[in-house]
Amino acid sequence: MLSDLNEALARAAERRYDVCVCGTGPAGITTARKLAEHGKRILLLEGGGLSYSKRSQDLYNATNVGLQYWFLEEAGRARYFGGTSNHWAGRCGIFDDIDFDTRDDSGLPGWPISRQQVLRTREEAQQILDIPGANLAPVQDPHFATPLFARSGYALSPPTRFLEKYGAEIRQSQHIEAFYNANLVGVGLSDDQTRVQHVFVRNYNGKMTKVVASQFVLALGGIENARILLNASSQVPGGIGNHSGMVGRCFMEHLNVSIGRFLVTDLQFWRRGSFPLAPTDTMIRQHGIGNGFLVFEPDPLPQSSGRFKALREFLRDTSCAVPPIAGVARRIVDFDCPGDGTIGSLIEQAPNPNSRVSLTDEVDAFGLRRAQLNWQLSDRDWKTIRILSIESAKEMARLNRARVQLAPFILDRDRFVEVSGHAHHMGTTRMSADPRYGVVDENCRVHGVHNLYIGGSSVFPTGGGTNPTLTIVMLALRLADFLANQK
């Protein structure tokens, strides 16, 4: 059943549920559906409505005090039913073996569970995301024979919009009671602070109710999960699960850096289209860098974007025919000429406690303190960007597939690196068997609170070198199976 909490406030408090799932993105909906399959009574809560509204979205307004970041608000987070599945691009991949190894350069432990444990639900997760049977493993390309790089494996979801695809099922479900316009505003712990007894939920008419369940799952997104835990400080100073001060720390993105451009030197090779290139384990270990992939995209007519779009296009159209002039013009405004290939990237960021979500003193419409992001990169991240760029360029030249012109900041440490993200918010409630280094245990349970669990990429201890949604769904299925077996 699907109801509006603005109109059905009393009904949410009538029943006692087995599991209360807060958040309706891929993690929340997947957890709820799987638990319903197990016959559990589920309360599913969404703070926004069934479509975008400014009133709901404004609750995500946050402050940024770190690196420039575009994905704190609407561009990166959608606060309505279906969550960020409403605007994701659909690229799916799986973590490599090496992503589950502890790499000691960050000083923090890696995943406390194995790749096999995560991938156990892979087939089902791929069905959920409409990529059944897709082979996602990197492959050695016979036309690009090198021990340093492989062709990155991935599949494109349509992309699956969770409200569109699963809304009817939720409406008709006998096991799921879903409410939208239902904002989680507080968490009530038992006196000994080891159990959640109820959560407080508000609608937009100023009414609040208390809902009771045996288990609670927060699946609100990588920034909001941390914000809710930090705000829940009335009973636990510093917030729930924050005994070691790790809530909100280790915020990670996948780095999006335009590392340069290239000219093709092997027409036959590039007739296949774009070439996604991922470092092999050998390469990662040899250089002590992170994972990721670079997409070499031959581009007949590069499109411009951003504030200087018109200027870039004017310069492209007028100067590219005379390369020396284009060269001079590019020193002023960077633009691509027809025939240039572009190089996109998704590069792993190492966990870094100084990169964090915390709270400001400003409060939202419900009285919760707003989030503050301080996104920081470490020396290892800069090294990963530079090594992947230079080594891939060398292999392109060595194999005579292309010649790469690297962006000036790749070659000059003193220059500012133009880095962005991919709207992947990870790590703020990281998984660790040792409570000193994380917020949740290997079953996604908040350390010290027996019936509070976290869903989504905020539990990732490391971000890996691929898009996170498939892993989020696999972990949600794993969490649901675990919860189904709890008394």
Partner 1 sequence: MNRTRHRGSVFDRRTFLGLLPKLAASLAVVTIPACAQHARTGVSAGQDFLIINGWVLNRHDIFPAASTADAV
Candidates 59, 212, 236, 390: give the one binding partner 1 (CB under 8 A): 390
| Per CB under 8 A, 270 contacts partner 1 | yes
Candidates 323, 354, 360, 362: give the one binding partner 1 (CB under 8 A): 323
| Per CB under 8 A, 145 contacts partner 1 | no
- 176-180/91-92 β-pairing: unpaired
Candidates 52, 397, 420, 448: give the one binding partner 1 (CB under 8 A): 397
Q: What number of chain residues touch partner 1 (CB under 8 A)?
A: 47
| Per CB under 8 A, 15 contacts partner 1 | no
Phi/psi at 29 (nearest 5 deg)?
Answer: -65, -40
Measured at the CA of 20, the angle between CA 24 and CA 120, to 5 degrees, comes to 70
Q: Which is nearer to partner 1, 218 or 410 (CB)?
A: 410
Candidates 238, 339, 435, 448: give the one binding partner 1 (CB under 8 A): 339
Query: Least distance from C-beta 343 to partner 1, angstroms?
Result: 12
User: What string marks each residue from 243 to 262 as x (binds partner 1 by CB under 8 A) or -?
Assistant: -----------------x--
Phi/psi at 446 (nearest 5 deg)?
Answer: -65, 130
Measured at the CA of 467, the angle between CA 181 and CA 180, to 5 degrees, comes to 5
The DSSP secondary-structure symbol of 437 reads G
| Per CB under 8 A, 197 contacts partner 1 | no
CA distance 236 to 403: 58
| Per CB under 8 A, 403 contacts partner 1 | yes
| Per CB under 8 A, 298 contacts partner 1 | yes
CA distance 418 to 203: 41
Binding window for partner 1 (CB under 8 A); candidates: 54-62, 209-217, 331-339, 475-483: 331-339
Q: For residue 418, give Cα distances in angstroms to 69, 248, 265, 396, 486.
A: 11, 25, 28, 23, 47
CA distance 159 to 167: 16
The DSSP secondary-structure symbol of 303 reads P
Q: Which is nearer to partner 1, 159 or 438 (CB)?
A: 159
| Per CB under 8 A, 134 contacts partner 1 | no
* Contact status, residue 47 vs residue 59, Cβ threshold 8 Å: yes
| Per CB under 8 A, 414 contacts partner 1 | yes
CA distance 238 to 233: 6
Candidates 65, 301, 363, 365: give the one binding partner 1 (CB under 8 A): 301
CA distance 66 to 63: 9
Q: Which is nearer to partner 1, 115 or 383 (CB)?
A: 383
Site residues (CB under 8 A) for partner 1? 89-91, 156, 260, 263-264, 267, 270-271, 273, 295, 298-301, 303, 323-324, 326-327, 337-339, 344, 346, 386-387, 390, 393-394, 396-398, 400, 403-408, 410-414, 422
